[in-house]
Amino acid sequence: MKCPRDGAALEAQKYESNIEVDVCTVCHGMWLDKGELEAIEASSEHDYTAELAKDQGVAPKKLADLQAQDKRGPIDCPKCGKAMETREYGYASRIHIDTCIHGCGVWLDHGEIQALEKFFDSNRGNRTLPLRWRLWASVLSVLKR
Ligand SMILES: [Zn+2]
Ligand SMILES: [Zn+2]
């Protein structure tokens, strides 16, 4: 697959222990197949932010930078080639990610995975979780048995 931002070839890399992602070495964007972001959300138990930033040799971005980044406009899905839609992830995350509405997966621009990890962390242990999150928690506890 090619990077939807700059056309560079995406490199398969491991993210956490069992999730394979496709990363652009030019812009540090990341492609996640359908379900992989949810898997990261469900599985991350400690902070990979620093690790990932170190790997890429770049510092995590601030939310304001991410929002400015969102204004770059739509991109085409690297899998099916159709225009992706920018959607807010999860419940009030304020993180907008490019989503293939045909179900291929999502594209995360540089810094967005770190922002999402932070968002996941801040949701963990929260007792007033929206239903969707509570469902995830129960799925996770089943998987861990
Ligand atoms: Zn790129
Ligand atoms: Zn697609």
pLDDT per residue as tens digits for the range 29-51: 999 999 999 888 887 554 555 55
Instruction: Give me the helices (H) in the chain, please.
Output: 36-43, 49-56, 63-70, 112-123, 131-144
Of the candidates 131, 124, 101, 128, which has an alpha carbon nearest to the alpha carbon of residue 42? Answer: 124
CA of 52 to the centre of ligand 2 (A): 26
pLDDT class of 74 with cuts at 50, 70, 90: confident
Residue 56: predicted pLDDT: 53
pLDDT of residue 127 exceeding 50, the answer is: no
**Which pTM does this prediction carry?**
0.72
What gap in Å lies between CA 77 and CA 16, rounded to an integer?
24
Mean pLDDT of 118-126: 75
**CA atoms of 81 and 67, how far apart (whole Å):** 24
| Strand pairing report for 85-88 and 96-99 | antiparallel
* Local structure of residue 39 (DSSP, 8 states): H
Cα(75) to centroid of ligand 1, in Å? 11
Ligand 2 centroid to 57 CA: how many Å?
29
pLDDT interval class at 6 (50, 70, 90): very high
The mean pLDDT value of the chain amounts to 80
- Ligand nearest to the CA of residue 5, numbered in listed order: 1
